[in-house]
Structure formats: C-alpha cells, structure tokens
Chains A and B, each alone.
Chain A
Amino acid sequence: MTARLWNRKTRAALLILPLALFIGIFFVWPLGIMVKQSVLDDAVLHLLPRTTEAIAGWDRTAPPTEAMQAALIADLRAADDEKAVGDMVRRLNSAQSGYRTLMTKTLSAVAKPETGPLLTDVDKRWAQPAFWIAIADALEPMTDRYLLAAVDLERNKAGEIAGLPDGASANRTIFIRTFWIAAVVTFFCVLIGYPYALLTAASTGITRTILLTAVLLPLWTSLLVRTAAWFILLQEQGLINGFLLSMGAISSPLPLIFNRTGVVIAMTHVLLPLMVLPIYSVLLTIPTNLMPAATSLGAHPLRAFLHVLLPLSLRGVISGALLVFMTAVGYYITPALVGGAGDQMISSVIAFYSTQTANWSMASALGIVLLVITLILYVVYVQLSGRTSVNGRM
C-alpha cells in the first residue's frame, strides 16, 4: 500500500520533472545570475590586491601616494587575464570617464620594465584623486551602486543615498514613461478589444473566422512589414492625413508618427490580440441564456449588459489587461521606430547597457528594478481586481 503510494508520487514527480527543469534552467537560474550581476562588484578587487592594501589609509582628497602608485603598477604587471582586465577597465570607466584610454596607455607603459615607480609620469591624469576614488569605491565585493543608479540615486561622499544631479540620468523618468505608455496602450486595447471580442463571440461561421484572423494578423506579420505599413498610414503625406485633408476635416496634417500618438497606435495594434483572445474565450463560456434571462426579469439590454455580461467577462478583461500591460512594458523596438525622442522606453536603456557597452551590472540592475516594480503593480492589481475575479468565477 505505502509502496504503491510512493510509486504514484514518484511517477507524478517524474511527470512534472521536465517542467521543473525548464523553469529552473530558463527562469530561476538566469534570474539568480541577474540578481548576482547587479550587486556583485569584484572585477577590480580580484586584480588589485596590493592596491587594495595601499589605498586603505588614503583620505580620498590628497594626491595619490607613491605606495599606491607602486602597488597599482605591481598589480597591473601581475594581471595576465586579458578579459579580466577588460572587465576591470569597463567597471572603472563606468564610474569615471576617461579610464579606457588611461588604462590602455598605462597598461602598455607598465609592460616595459623601466616604467615606475610613479604613474603620474605615465599620464598626468593619475595625479587626480578622481581616478583613485574610482578604484577605492570598487573594492567592496558587493555594491548597491547599480541598483541605486537604476533609479537615479547614488551614494554621496558621506556614504548617504542621494539623488543624482539634474540632467545626469533619466531612468526614473523613463521608468514612469514606460509604465504610463503601457497603461495607455492597455486602456486603448480594452476600449477597442472588448467590443471586438463581443462581436466575434456573437458571430458564427465564416464571419467569426475572418474577425479572428484579422485581429491575429499583426502577430504573424514581421516587424519591418508592420513598421512600413504604419509609416504609409501615419506619415504627414500618409493615407490617414490624406483622407482627413481631402475630407476637409483638418487643414494641416496631424502629427501621427514619431511621437507618442504613433507609439500608442502601433503598440495598440500589435497587442490587441492579447486583449481580444482572453475576453473572447471567456465570453464563449458564458451561457447564452443569461442575457435573455436578465431582460425577461425587467433589465433594459444595456443594464443587462452592465449587470450580467460585463461582470462575468471581467475575468477576460483582467487577464487581457495583464497580458497587454506586461508585454507593453518590455517594448522598445516599436517605440524606437515610430516614436519620437521622448518615447524611449526602459528596455531600450537596458539594451543599450547590454548590447552596446557590455555593462551587464547596470543592465541587470535596471532589469531587476523593472521586475520589482512590475511585481508590485501586479500585486496591487490583483488586490484591486481580486473581488471581481473571484465573483466572475463560474
């Protein structure tokens, strides 16, 4: 009996093993790496053990001591892993611009045995405390600088958390903008998607197939084709402006592309199926006799809709809104192609740090902030919509 039970449990465990492995390898593990990446700060520490000791007593304002300079030369001579050196330079340059060229020059100088003991002879920049502060600040194995920088904060000289100076970074603005654009797109998807889903669910046969295909089409179309289509439609000499002008509805072309309007139109277009399909599938599960029942009980068709069909289909709206919002938050190519200068979303900043500058720590930190805010919004959303969603369960 117990053996059989155990057997069944084992079999059940084996059945979900692929799922568990998949989630572990492709979700939990990368997430762990991302978290580690965003707080780990050992690129400098590993390579500069002597400098770490020499810099310990330094007051961060005086010119660098000879001991510090000699220690750095010794450390750089001992470093033999090119890639590790590259990581260190990248880390230092992101704290202090100019480190790249300084280090290139310094590294080729220390390769010659006659160089030393003073680095200030190699490049006068080594006399500036700023370059040494960059090293001193990079010697803790863990750091919160990336996470702070992701939300436009830093530690000031006293070690307190403070805002970055104006104009230095715009992550906070871009985060807010990202969530705002996602919310606006979600709103328009509901506005257009709900009636569309109603229409589709109420239709039959070929009409239903055509309606479903029409809404799915953008998902099957390549980004380039879609962008070209939007361009043709939305530009100043485009179809929409041409039509409105010829109708006399407007006297000069409306700016529909390379601005927020273009971004919202394009994203609503692409994400509409994610709204329509969940609502549509929920509508299909609602018994067809509820609306007649409501009208027979004295409800005007509009009130019947508000009291019966709408609350019952809200489940679909909720999951559709969630899908659209979450997907929209991650968009960056579409806003880049049809948006204006002020429509950049946070994913493009993350892409900049990962593909352009290989600053994985910064990219990870921004990713984590994005994830955390999204999770918080999700919890709030579930709390707010919880009652409706329970009520809506059939």
Chain B
Amino acid sequence: MTTKYALRRLGFVSAAVVAIATTPALARDLTIVGWGGATQDAQREAYFKPFAEKEGTKVLEDSWDGGYGVLQSKVSAGTPNWDLVQVEAEELVLGCADGIYEKLDWEQIGPKEDFLDESVSDCGVGALTSSTGLAYDSEKWPDGPKSWADFWDLKKYPGKRALRKGPKYTIEFALLADGVKREELYEVMSTPEGIDRAFKKLEELGPNLIWWEAGAQPIQLLASGEVAMTASYNGRIANVNKKEGKKFVFVWPGNVTATDSWVILKGSENKAAAMKAIAFMSQPEPEVKMAELITYGLPSKKAAAMVPAEISKDLPTDPKNLAEAVPLNIEFWIDNNESLTKRFNAWLAAR
C-alpha cells in the first residue's frame, strides 16, 4: 500500500467517523411504558392507538415490572429512553419528592375535582386503580372462601395458598385474617407488636404457604390446581374468566386498592407529546373504553359515571366494592418497605 493511498484512505475513514459522530441521533418517538400483559393490551386499544391516530404520530411501547431504582438510574443517567411511565403509588410519591418526574400541567388535563383523590398529584395523574384480594376457583369450591379468615382456615379449605412474595399486602392480609378491623389496620401495623402479630399469623399456614412474584403466576397456580386459593389482582381474574372461560372468583371483602399513575420522566425529550397523551388518557371516553376491556378502576369520576352497571360491579372503584376495601397506605410503605422487606426476608430464611 503506498503512503499516498494510505493517507487518502485514512482521510476517508476519519471523515466518515466525524460524520457519524456529529449526526444528531434520530428523534425517538413518544415511548409509553406500562406493565405488560392484558392490561397493556387494553391500554393499547383504549389509549395508545386512538391517541396516535388523533395526533398523527407514532407511539412506541415498552413494559416493566416496577422498581424505583430502575427509574432513578434512568433519569440520573441523563436523557431517559422512556417518556411516559405507569408507576405505582409509592414510586409516584418517592420520585416526585426526589424530582425525577416532570411537573404536570393540570390546565391540559382538566379540573382536579373531576378525579379521584388518589389520582391527583403534582407529578402524576391516575392510570388505574387495582385491587389485590383473595381469589379461588369456584369449580373447586362451590361454597368458596369469603374473607381472609377463610384463607387461613386449613380445615374447611385444605390445600396450599399463595401470596405475593414480600411484606406489602401480606402483612395487611394476615392482620385482617387475625381479626383486625379495616379502619384500624395501619394503626396496628405501625406498632412492633402489630408486625409481630402478622408474622405469627403467617406461621400458622406453615408449609401450605407458597409465594408468587409475577402477576401471571397466581392465575397459573389456580388453573393447575396447585393452590386452593391465592392473592391476585382483580383484573387478571376477570380477564382469565373472560378469555379462557374460567370460573374464578375474586373476593371483594378485604381487598386492598392501590392507584397507579402516569408520570413523565425528568429530561424526557418528548415532554410535550407525553403531556398530550396524559391529557388524552384522562378524558372520560377513552377511560370508559378501557373499563370495557379490563376491569380496573378509573381515575376520572366522569368516566366512572358513564360506565354501565354490569361492568361497574367488577371495578375496584365501584362504590359497593370500595366500601369493603382497604386503600393501601402509601406513607406507611414508603417509610417501612425497606426495613419490613429485610425482616420479611429474614423471616423467610429462618423458616
């Protein structure tokens, strides 16, 4: 290779490198992140597709399994590759305090009084309200369990039980089963004796208690007959009944409700589009469509009023269901999640 040729080639290569390095990255389309599964399928039909059609833009989707650390590291890394994310209530509060979300423009969304209280925040607007409660297969138990006390009744309902691995919900359910009144629940949980009482109650189930981590697992466990009953999300139960003709029952008394919210990650390059999407999803019409597809509670009061009664009776936000529910105490879990998880793991390890 002659020197002249080599130099020419070098020149070409470096020009190419410079060209690549200086070309601005192609603008990413609005990226909405949900929790996958049937819920995100419903959101796609009710929200994402109509929104993309209306605005004439593209919407990218991703899904995640929660975890505040995930969002925190995405934002602190610089420009996040997600824009609009469905977060759980604690993630909303934590992130809002830490400043990893953009503040919302409520002018675009609408009057705050049109929404349920849990759905309104500086950093987020409600996405859906879900219930976690007892579920069983009515083909196996025609006269099924009716409360968390029945969940602990191994004589009447022999077989294994499944709960979500972790202290959240587990401690609530154990204390409800132990006779703690709904309205006193978090008072009891705030004392060390209350926590001890919950773990003692869990001991009663002994080897009959198994744990699930992913939302699809309890459905699988019920379907296979591996467990007699399980804690599950209400939407998953309704969905599998509708899609696969199962006769699973979700027990409303003693369900724990929690509201997920939409947030915009700080530094999002599609902030304006994300804001528009949030405003769109908060309109009554798309929310009613969402309720027709999957039975989760709606943030908009106007939408709730428009939902037909036969659908409404399965929603966590239906007044009748709400009357038997315990709203998840976000403050309690923000303060105590880490220490109780440590204790929960220690308890599991010692069994």
CB-CB under 8 A from B93, the residues of chain A are: 104
A349: nearest chain-B partner, CB-CB? B345
Interface hits, A312-351 → B, CB 8 Å: 336-337, 340-342, 344, 349
| B345 pairs with A344, CB closer than 8 A | yes
| A357 pairs with B69, CB closer than 8 A | yes
Known A83-B99, A101-B335, A170-B349: A356·B67 in contact at CB below 8 Å: yes
| B339 pairs with A97, CB closer than 8 A | yes
Q: Identify the interface centre among A85, A89, A231, A358: most chain B CB within 10 Å of its CB.
A: A358
Known A167-B346, A341-B351, A352-B341: A86·B97 in contact at CB below 8 Å: yes
Decide yes or no whether A55 CB sits under 8 A from chain B.
no
CB-CB under 8 A from B226, the residues of chain A are: 235-237, 257-258
Decide yes or no whether A5 CB sits under 8 A from chain B.
no
CB-CB under 8 A from A359, the residues of chain B are: 69, 338
CB-CB under 8 A from A82, the residues of chain B are: 97-99
A358 to B224, CA, bound (A): 36
Size of B's binding interface in residues, CB under 8 A: 42
A374 to B338, CA, bound (A): 26
- How many A-B pairs with Cβ below 8 Å? 124
Decide yes or no whether A37 CB sits under 8 A from chain B.
no
Q: Identify the interface centre among B93, B338, B351: most chain A CB within 10 Å of its CB.
A: B338
Contact flags B78-122 to A (C-beta < 8 A → 1, else 0): 000000000000000110011110000000000000000000000
Do most interface residues of chain B lie in helix, strand or loop, or is the interface mixed? helix
Decide yes or no whether A98 CB sits under 8 A from chain B.
yes
| B331 pairs with A101, CB closer than 8 A | yes
A336 to B299, CA, bound (A): 33
Q: Give the contact-size bracket for chain A.
A: 35 or more
CB-CB under 8 A from A340, the residues of chain B are: 210-211
Decide yes or no whether A261 CB sits under 8 A from chain B.
no
A108: nearest chain-B partner, CB-CB? B97
Contact flags A158-191 to B (C-beta < 8 A → 1, else 0): 0000000001111001100100000000000000
A104 to B94, CA, bound (A): 10
CB-CB under 8 A from A353, the residues of chain B are: 69
Contact flags B321-351 to A (C-beta < 8 A → 1, else 0): 0000000000100111111011101111111
B213 to nearest A CB, angstroms?
A: 5
Known A100-B334, A236-B226, A355-B67: A341·B99 in contact at CB below 8 Å: no
CB-CB under 8 A from A86, the residues of chain B are: 94, 97-100
Known A83-B100, A104-B97: A342·B67 in contact at CB below 8 Å: no
| B343 pairs with A168, CB closer than 8 A | yes
10 A-B residue pairs with CB within 8 Å: A82-B97, A83-B76, A85-B97, A93-B338, A100-B94, A101-B331, A170-B348, A341-B165, A349-B345, A355-B68
Chain B residues in contact with chain A, CB under 8 A? 66-70, 72-73, 76, 93-94, 97-100, 165, 209-211, 213-214, 217, 220, 224-226, 331, 334-339, 341-343, 345-351
With A167-B343, A342-B349 already in contact, 12 other A-B pairs whose C-beta atoms are closer than 8 Å = A97-B339, A101-B335, A170-B346, A177-B349, A231-B220, A258-B210, A354-B69, A355-B69, A356-B67, A356-B341, A357-B337, A360-B69
